[in-house]
Amino acid sequence: MKSVLAEKPQEHDVNTGVCDPKAVADGLSDVLADTYRILIKTHIVHWNVEGPMFYAVHNLTETQYEELFAATDVIAERIRALGHLTHMSSAALLSESVIKDVSSPQSAGDMCQNLAEDHNKIAKRLHDLISAAGDAGDPVTEDLATARSAFHEKAAWMLRSISKS
């Protein structure tokens, strides 16, 4: 008898009517990578913002990173529901992200503008995922990606607006 502890995660054939679950899972994997990368970057802004915009940016980024953290689980669980695994290492996961780190201190306005641009990049990837999910006959992922895109578009707008301060 096999030990339950010896079980390894594996991919499964899942018949939900999605005609190309691998392509959809791959798109979700890209978005998961972006979500983790911007979660970390947003938290770093939250910790390091200074100046007259401190309170507003500190509070806004806290709200955003909390939402981003919750989203990582939703996205990863959708990948699993499609029968696929998420990456098994943080390095592999983050390597798929289009979000880049900032290596030196920036003003509060520049940090907000940089995050806004990142949110726009993720929204674009989500728009591509919405199309791919539609083509694959996957309305669940279309809905998830639409909701996530709405979050990123609103976050970008708020960050752009506050960066004008």
pTM of the model: 0.90
Q: Which residue has the tokens 């959708």?
A: 78
Residue 13 lies in a domain: no
Number of independent structural domains in the chain = 1
What pLDDT does residue 32 have? Answer: 98
- Residue 3 inside a domain? The answer is no
pLDDT digits (tens, 9 = 90+) for 103-128: 889 999 999 999 999 999 999 999 99
Residue 38 within any structural domain of the chain: yes
In the 8-state DSSP scheme, what is residue 86? P
Does a structural domain hold residue 50? Answer: yes
Q: How confident is the model at residue 164 (pLDDT cuts 50, 70, 90)?
A: confident
Nearest to 126 by CA among 18, 29, 41: 29
Residue 2: predicted pLDDT: 60
Residue 8 resides in a domain? no
pLDDT digits (tens, 9 = 90+) for 12-68: 666 677 778 899 999 999 999 999 999 999 999 999 999 999 999 999 999 999 999
- Look up the domain containing 121 and give its range: 20-97+107-163
CA distances from 52 to 49, 100, 107, 108, 163 (A): 10, 26, 11, 9, 12
Specify the residue for token string 């996530």.
148
Looking at the chain, how many residues does it have? 165
Asked, for residue 6, whether it belongs to a domain, the answer is: no
Any idea what DSSP says for residue 5?
Answer: G
> Is residue 136 pLDDT above 70, yes or no?
yes
Structure tokens at 147: 């909701």
Over the stretch 147-159, which tens digit does the pLDDT of each residue have?
999 999 999 999 9
* Mean per-residue pLDDT, 66-95: 95
CATH of the domain at 43: 1.20.1260.10
The answer to whether position 54 is within a domain reads yes
Close Cβ partners of 118 (under 8 Å, ≥ 6 residues apart): 34, 38, 41, 99
DSSP-H helix ranges across 82-165 = 90-95, 108-135, 139-163
